[in-house]
């Protein structure tokens, strides 16, 4: 590894497993001290923290429910206090809720937007108070902001589309301070919640993918590490696909 993030301090939300955990580990391998939040599964979170510490950097696992704005702010402030500041925020926490319009509950709608949109704004608002010039904010969006090819995904797609407008607007607010903000927009990625060997995965690969496979958490994490690093300093307000051609 190039250790391009040596000495940097990062916070990743929703990172005890899946894409989030892969991001935490990649940032650590690049030399960053990394705090991360988790809503449940403390054993998984502790395992990720131990793996990070074995790389010779600091790790901090913080229990925080992204539905609760006060917990999000407290997690940001705790990470900044214990790491001595923040240079990188990765807003990775998110949920998926799929269902037909006739049956979709408003409580589920509110929860999707609370986690996928509101918590991103809340965490960003709190984090940039601790950032100096060169700070990085990176959000995990979705290719479904651009393409939702099957029924039932309207609310999820809308929440990820909202991040596009949020990032473009915040780029104007943060640019004069030398802080960049971008969305990555993954397509189908092999995770516990969406494994590459399922019937659903086979359908997606056969019908919608230009590359006939799922992506990996490590590929997404590498993209995040690039955006967090010094070579991405002129990229901001962007919505960047990593979807194997799903949206092509």
**Looking at the domain assignment, is residue 248 inside a domain?**
no
246 located within any domain: no
Where residue 132 sits, what CATH number does that domain have? 3.40.50.720
The reported pTM is 0.97
Tell me whether residue 161 is in a domain. yes
Q: Could you give phi then psi for residue 38, rounded to 5 degrees? A: -145, 150
In a domain, residue 151? The reply is yes
Q: How far apart are CA 43 and CA 179, in angstroms?
A: 34
In this prediction, residue 31 carries a pLDDT of 98
Q: Where are the beta strands (DSSP E) in the chain?
A: 9-12, 33-38, 59-63, 88-91, 136-140, 180-186, 239-242
Q: Within a domain: residue 170?
A: yes
20 domain-assigned:
yes
First and final C-alpha spacing in the chain: 32
State the total domains in the chain: 1
The answer as to whether 120 is a domain residue is yes
Cβ(244)–Cβ(207) under 8 Å?
A: no
- Walking along the chain (248 residues) 10 residues at a time, the average pLDDT comes out as 91 97 98 97 95 97 98 98 98 96 97 98 98 98 96 97 98 98 97 92 95 98 98 98 97
In this prediction, residue 1 carries a pLDDT of 61
- Assigned domain for 113 exists: yes
Catalytic residue positions?
Answer: 156
Residue 200: which domain range?
A: 9-241
């Amino acid at each position: 590894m190039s250790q391009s993030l040596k000495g940097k301090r990062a916070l990743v939300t929703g990172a005890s497993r899946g894409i989030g955990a892969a991001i935490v580990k990649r940032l650590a391998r690049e030399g960053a001290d990394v705090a991360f939040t988790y809503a449940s599964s403390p054993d998984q979170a502790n395992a990720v923290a131990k793996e990070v510490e074995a790389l010779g950097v600091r790790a901090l696992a913080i229990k925080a429910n992204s539905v609760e704005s006060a917990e999000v702010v407290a997690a940001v402030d705790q990470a900044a206090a214990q790491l001595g500041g923040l240079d990188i925020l990765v807003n990775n926490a998110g949920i998926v809720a799929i269902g037909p319009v006739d049956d979709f509950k408003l409580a589920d709608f509110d929860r999707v937007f609370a986690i996928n949109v509101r918590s991103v704004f809340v965490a960003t608002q709190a984090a940039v108070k601790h950032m100096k010039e060169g700070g990085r904010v990176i959000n995990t969006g979705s290719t479904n902001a651009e393409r939702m090819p099957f029924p039932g995904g309207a609310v999820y797609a809308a929440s990820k589309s909202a991040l596009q407008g949020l990032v473009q607007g915040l780029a104007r607010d943060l640019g004069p301070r030398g802080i960049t903000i971008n969305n990555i927009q993954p397509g189908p990625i092999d995770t516990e919640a969406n494994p590459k060997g399922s019937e659903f995965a086979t359908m997606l690969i056969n019908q919608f993918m230009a590359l006939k496979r799922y992506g990996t958490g490590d590929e997404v994490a590498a993209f995040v590490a690039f955006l967090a690093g010094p070579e991405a300093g002129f990229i901001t307000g962007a919505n960047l696909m990593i979807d194997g051609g799903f949206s092509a």
